[in-house]
Amino acid sequence: MPEMPEVETTKRGITPHIVGQRVTQVVVRNAAMRRPVPVAQLQSDLTGQVIEAVRRRGKYLLLDTKAGSAIIHLGMSGSLRVVDSASPAEKHDHVDVVFGNGKVLRLRDPRRFGLFLWAQGDPLDDPWLARLGPEPLEAGFDATYLHRCAAKRRVAIKQFIMDSHVVVGVGNIYASESLFRAGIHPECKAGSVSLARYQRLVEAIRAVLEAAIEQGGTTLRDFTNASGKPGYFAQSLNVYGRTGQPCPECSRLIRQIKQAQRATYYCGYCQR
């Protein structure tokens, strides 16, 4: 479900409700996520701590305390809400972080591809985060970096930009959208894309992600922010999910292919 703009939207939604709040209880109803939720460790180390900050690294959310950080990933179907402690938990509400002010940070994740972990030291050094590529909206992500990174690589450009060791935060929706905006065919070999075209791609990725964050993310099915409201970027999608519809630039029909078991959408005329 969530790509980086949805995670950023979630971060912005929960931050004002939980920063400065003290954790009074951690309730785990189902620990069977992608990795087992470390229940005992969370209950001993997170309980009693004050949330000092909420950060995002790629699609991971970090809840910092003086004792360590919770590392949360929403996988394909996860969401975080801040609810009243009287609010009854539903079927897929697996983890509650209960605060002294009567609010609860609640993780829901039907498919359980997500993570809820604990790092005692700097979470950025945790094995789950240590080898991630640069943030697309920060310095260090530029055409020179991408071009050098792609040298001799024959993988398709779409899979290349979705590789979190190359750059974080470009998921299946925004990969198709960015390549459309940059005019690059998704099946181009990463290593044969010119520096000039990488320049266009970097600008496209930044523009698409920034616009999506601006609009509160993309709601295709069920994404909601921390208050339960959808994102509005779906109306700005040019190619994703638009198989057979006219390209907004040239009116030729949008095509759909499969790459690495994921759907890819593109315009065969605008993208070469």
Q: Does 229 bind DNA (CB under 7 A)?
A: no
For the bound state, the minimum distance from the C-beta of residue 220 to DNA, rounded and expressed in Å, comes to 4
**Amino acid symbol at 199:** Q
51-70 mask for DNA (x: CB under 7 A)?
A: -------xx-----------
For the bound state, the minimum distance from the C-beta of residue 71 to DNA, rounded and expressed in Å, comes to 11
Of residues 237, 233, 235, 265, the one with CA closest to residue 252:
265
Contact window for DNA (CB under 7 A) among 36-44, 134-142, 150-158, 193-201: 150-158
59 as an active site residue: the answer is yes
Selecting among 57, 59, 106, 181, the annotated active-site residue is: 59
Q: Does 29 bind DNA (CB under 7 A)?
A: no
- Report helix, strand or coil for 246: strand
3 as an active site residue: the answer is yes
Work out which of 29, 148, 154, 252 binds DNA, going by CB under 7 A.
Answer: 154
Q: Of residues 184-213, which lie at the interface with DNA (CB under 7 A)?
A: 190-191
d(CA 107, CA 150): 37
- Report helix, strand or coil for 114: coil
Considering the complex, state which of residue 99 and residue 180 has its C-beta at the smaller distance from DNA.
180
* SS3 track for 87-129: CCCCCCEEEEEEECCCEEEEEECCCCCCEEEEECCCHHHCCCC
Q: Does 244 bind DNA (CB under 7 A)?
A: no
Q: Count Cβ atoms below 10 Å from residue 252 Cβ, excluding itself.
A: 12
Q: Of residues 94-113, which lie at the interface with DNA (CB under 7 A)?
A: 110-113
- The DSSP bridge partners found for residue 178 are none
Considering the complex, state which of residue 21 and residue 79 has its C-beta at the smaller distance from DNA.
79
For the bound state, the minimum distance from the C-beta of residue 108 to DNA, rounded and expressed in Å, comes to 11
Can you read off the two tokens belonging to residue 220?
Answer: 């295709």
258 as an active site residue: the answer is no
Q: Does 76 bind DNA (CB under 7 A)?
A: yes
Q: Does 13 bind DNA (CB under 7 A)?
A: no
The 8 Å CB, 24+ separation contacts for 62-67 are: 62/123, 63/18, 63/97, 64/123, 65/23, 67/120
* Strand arrangement of the beta sheet that strand 60-65 belongs to: 53-57, 60-65, 68-73, 115-119
d(CA 264, CA 239): 9
Binding site for DNA (CB under 7 A): 1-3, 6, 32, 34, 58-59, 73, 75-77, 91-92, 110-113, 128, 152-156, 159, 164, 171-173, 190-191, 217-223, 231, 260-263
